């Protein structure tokens, strides 16, 4: 037991006491100044490294994905034409809807405002499925707010500091949110699948569902506005005699390469 009288043990104990003090500050919510210093100090290095790596990454990824880019281009052109045709019909429905709302005196559907945030850090350890963002309570962000990227739900705010916040990615196994099928309005739950994707669960066996149908947030949780795209229904994961239907949910978002997001404030 002589090691407890050594200088190393004294320094180690001092470090533990300092750490315990920082934990106390975190629990009390007073750690923001320290957090800001640690988050901002490597930013110049990050900026330079990203500036150097971005063109290199872009060059090599274009090179390896030329064939896929050509196939995607052809598929998207066809999809674009189909969507334009649908849009004409939707415009007509929207005009009719507005007219009817005016006549019946319905209040307009509440809209949400978006706060643009930069991702400071992602996938730092490779396992936590969390994003650290450069906006916090000063920008009006609150715990539970939805995080959106390219129009799709990518996560939820789990911690809010003064000028930064942490978001749990939708692919995390600890993420879940209420959703509904945009075609039928049937409600279900979306959960993360250990960092690799999304799953649509708890869909009643009575509800019809087909591959390719869009899934949006249901708005049951007041912190997450309804109507935010989550993904498309994929392959079935459940059997016919299971209590609920379960499907994979395909999102076009590359969850490992998110650089900018919007936080939806209801």
Q: At residue 96, what are phi and psi to the nearest 5 degrees?
A: -65, -40
| Least gap, CB of 16 to other proteins (angstroms) | 7
State which residue, 22 or 189, has the beta carbon closest to other proteins.
Answer: 22
State which residue, 18 or 114, has the beta carbon closest to other proteins.
Answer: 18
CB-CB contact of 105 with 149 (8 Å): no
| Least gap, CB of 195 to other proteins (angstroms) | 6
State which residue, 46 or 116, has the beta carbon closest to other proteins.
Answer: 46
d(CA 198, CA 233): 10
Contact residues for other proteins (CB under 8 A)? 3, 7-9, 11-12, 15-16, 18-19, 22-23, 26-27, 31, 35, 38-39, 41-50, 53, 57, 120-128, 130-132, 158-159, 166-168, 172-174, 194-196, 256
| Least gap, CB of 44 to other proteins (angstroms) | 7
d(CA 57, CA 162): 33
State which residue, 47 or 90, has the beta carbon closest to other proteins.
Answer: 47
Contacts of 88 (CB under 8 A, 6+ apart): none
| Least gap, CB of 31 to other proteins (angstroms) | 7
Q: Maximum CA pair distance of the chain?
A: 86
CA dihedral 211, 216, 217, 218 (to 10 degrees): -80
CB-CB contact of 232 with 189 (8 Å): no
| Least gap, CB of 183 to other proteins (angstroms) | 33
State which residue, 184 or 256, has the beta carbon closest to other proteins.
Answer: 256
What three-state secondary structure class fits 15? helix
Of 138, 129, 162, 122, nearest in space to 35 by CA: 162
Burial classification of residue 175, based on how many CB atoms lie within 10 Å of its CB (0-12 exposed, 13-18 middle, 19 or more buried):
buried
| Least gap, CB of 122 to other proteins (angstroms) | 6
State which residue, 167 or 264, has the beta carbon closest to other proteins.
Answer: 167
């Amino acid at each position: 037991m002589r090691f407890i009288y050594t200088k190393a043990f004294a320094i180690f104990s001092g470090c533990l006491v300092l750490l315990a003090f920082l934990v106390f500050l975190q629990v009390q919510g007073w750690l923001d100044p320290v957090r800001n210093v640690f988050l901002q100090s490597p930013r110049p290095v990050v900026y330079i490294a990203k500036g150097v790596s971005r063109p290199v990454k872009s060059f090599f990824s274009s090179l390896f994905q030329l064939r896929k880019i050509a196939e995607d281009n052809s598929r998207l052109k066809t999809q674009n034409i189909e969507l334009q045709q649908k849009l004409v019909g939707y415009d007509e429905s929207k005009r009719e809807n507005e007219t009817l709302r005016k006549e019946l005196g319905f209040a307009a559907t509440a809209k949400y405002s978006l706060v643009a945030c930069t991702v400071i850090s992602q996938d730092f350890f490779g396992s936590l499925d969390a994003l650290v963002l450069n906006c916090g309570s000063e920008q009006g962000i609150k715990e539970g707010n939805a995080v959106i990227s390219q129009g799709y739900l990518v996560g939820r705010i789990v911690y809010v500091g003064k000028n930064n916040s942490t978001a749990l990615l939708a692919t995390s196994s600890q993420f879940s949110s209420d959703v509904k099928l945009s075609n039928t309005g049937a409600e279900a739950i979306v959960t993360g699948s250990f960092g690799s994707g999304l799953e649509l669960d708890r869909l009643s066996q009575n509800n019809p569902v087909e591959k390719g149908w869009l899934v949006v947030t249901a708005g049951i949780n007041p912190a997450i506005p309804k109507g935010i795209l989550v993904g498309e229904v994929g392959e079935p994961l459940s059997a016919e005699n299971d209590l609920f239907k379960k499907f994979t949910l395909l999102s076009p978002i590359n969850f490992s390469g998110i650089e900018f997001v919007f936080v939806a404030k209801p």
